[in-house]
């Protein structure tokens, strides 16, 4: 080395310091992002401690999703003021990233909870249970919608859920009116719905009231749900009950946990008089 008295890291040493590969340092040198302080005639690279500080900033910005080109452009023309501005704007970016991760966490937790519950119940069983009150976000009215209108409604409803970060991993369910049940038009849903933490202004919500509900399950494709409703009808007759208002259907096992519609499990909840 030309300046033997100086304190320089070789490429390998500097790579270890940064916990990255030597190849990555070559690449960073090539694109002008982080070039060694000294490059000898034999091509050997030497880095200083200050460049480690720069690497820390590069890593920070990279982890926040900034492209290397932009990082390079910032570093090559930086002033203290610009550094403050950039880092300050990144603080908001970090906060967004954190709240997105917290949202993802909620979704994962809810999904786990639902699958676990699904594995614990006997899908053949029909029971009467007391359900607590729930606030439900609902779609536009669907009862007489064409396929096209139905698809648009699904899209709108999902956008609505995402817009307010209301999607918490709870599946999107469907509400079937008593008349449609009795007329055996099982595909003719009135609304889509999803559970929400609590009522939020400016969005249409309904309350699924607390009370006694028939809880039944349907295994298989939605389109072949009729036999499951027939089982419910028999149960109702046998126990001298009467259903009222709406049936609430939601997938508790779907493509997320099982393969193929024939293995899906739908939970059916119907309030009784």
Partner DNA sequence: TTAAAGTATATAGTTACTATATAGTCAATA
Partner DNA sequence: TATTGACTATATAGTAACTATATACTTTAA
Q: Which residues sit at the interface with DNA, rule CB under 7 A?
A: 10-13, 20-24, 26-27, 40, 42-45, 62, 67-69
7-10: long-range contacts, CB 8 A cutoff, minimum separation 24: 7/48, 7/49, 8/37, 8/38, 8/46, 8/47, 8/48, 9/46, 9/47, 9/48, 9/49, 10/44, 10/45, 10/46, 10/47
Quickly list H helices, the chain.
11-18, 22-30, 49-63, 68-76, 80-120, 147-163, 178-182, 226-238
**From 30, 42, 116, 201, residue interacting with a copy of itself (rule: CB under 8 A):** 116
Q: Give which of a copy of itself, DNA, none residue 155 binds (C-beta under 5 to 8 Å, depending on kind).
A: a copy of itself
Binding mask 79-108 for a copy of itself (x = CB under 8 A): xxx-xx--xx-xx--xx-xx-xxx-xx-xx
Q: What SS3 state is found at 252? A: strand
Residue 243: DSSP 8-state = B
Q: Give which of DNA, a copy of itself, none residue 68 binds (C-beta under 5 to 8 Å, depending on kind).
A: DNA
- Residue 71 to residue 59: CA distance in whole angstroms: 10
On the CB side of 120, CA atoms within 13 Å amount to 6
Nearer to DNA, 6 or 244 (CB): 6
Nearer to a copy of itself, 21 or 199 (CB): 21
Burial of 222 (0-12, 13-18, 19+ CB in 10 A): middle
Nearer to DNA, 29 or 178 (CB): 29
- Residue 252 to residue 169: CA distance in whole angstroms: 11
- Residue 258 to residue 137: CA distance in whole angstroms: 26
Instruction: Tell me how far, at minimum, the Cβ of 16 lies from a copy of itself, in Å.
Output: 7
- Examine residue 121 and tell whether it contacts a copy of itself (CB under 8 A): no
Q: Give which of DNA, a copy of itself, none residue 207 binds (C-beta under 5 to 8 Å, depending on kind).
A: none
* Listed ranges 116-124, 176-184, 197-205, 228-236: which one lies at the site for a copy of itself (CB under 8 A): 116-124
Q: Give which of DNA, a copy of itself, none residue 24 binds (C-beta under 5 to 8 Å, depending on kind).
A: DNA
Q: Which residue has the tokens 């009370």?
A: 211
Residue 121 sits at φ, ψ, to 5 deg, of -95, 155
- Residue 262 to residue 265: CA distance in whole angstroms: 9
Q: Give which of DNA, a copy of itself, none residue 26 binds (C-beta under 5 to 8 Å, depending on kind).
A: DNA
Nearer to a copy of itself, 150 or 233 (CB): 150
Instruction: Tell me how far, at minimum, the Cβ of 145 lies from a copy of itself, in Å.
Output: 10
* Listed ranges 46-54, 195-203, 210-218, 227-235: which one lies at the site for a copy of itself (CB under 8 A): 46-54
Residue 66 sits at φ, ψ, to 5 deg, of -80, 130
| Interface contacts to a copy of itself, rule CB under 8 A | 5-9, 13, 16-17, 49-54, 56-57, 60, 63-64, 76, 78-81, 83-84, 87-88, 90-91, 94-95, 97-98, 100-102, 104-105, 107-109, 111-112, 115-116, 118-119, 147, 150-151, 154-155, 158, 171-172, 251, 253-259, 261, 264
């Amino acid at each position: 080395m030309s300046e033997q008295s100086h304190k320089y890291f070789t490429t390998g040493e500097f790579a270890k310091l940064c916990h990255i590969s030597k190849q990555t340092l070559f690449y960073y040198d090539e694109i002008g992002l982080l070039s060694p302080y000294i490059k000898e005639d034999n091509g050997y690279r030497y880095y200083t401690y200050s460049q480690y500080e720069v690497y820390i900033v590069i890593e920070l910005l990279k982890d926040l999703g900034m492209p290397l080109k932009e990082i390079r452009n910032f570093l090559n023309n930086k002033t203290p003021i610009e550094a403050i501005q950039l880092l300050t704007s990144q603080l908001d970016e970090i906060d967004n990233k954190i709240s997105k991760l917290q949202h993802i966490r909620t979704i994962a937790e809810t999904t786990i909870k639902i699958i676990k519950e699904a594995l614990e119940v006997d899908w053949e069983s029909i029971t009467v249970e007391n359900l607590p009150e729930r606030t439900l976000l609902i779609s536009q009215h669907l009862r007489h919608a064409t396929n096209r209108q139905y698809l648009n409604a699904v899209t709108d409803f999902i956008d609505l859920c995402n817009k307010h970060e209301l999607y918490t991993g709870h599946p999107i369910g469907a509400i079937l009116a008593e008349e449609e049940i009795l007329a055996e038009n099982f595909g003719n849903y009135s609304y889509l719905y999803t559970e929400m933490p609590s009522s939020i202004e400016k969005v249409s919500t309904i309350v699924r009231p607390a009370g006694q509900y028939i809880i039944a399950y349907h295994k298989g494709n939605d389109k072949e749900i009729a036999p499951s409703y027939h089982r419910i009808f028999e149960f109702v007759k046998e126990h001298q009950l009467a259903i009222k208002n709406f049936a609430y259907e939601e997938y508790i096992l779907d493509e997320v946990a099982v393969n193929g519609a024939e293995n899906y499990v739908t939970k059916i909840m119907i309030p009784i008089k």
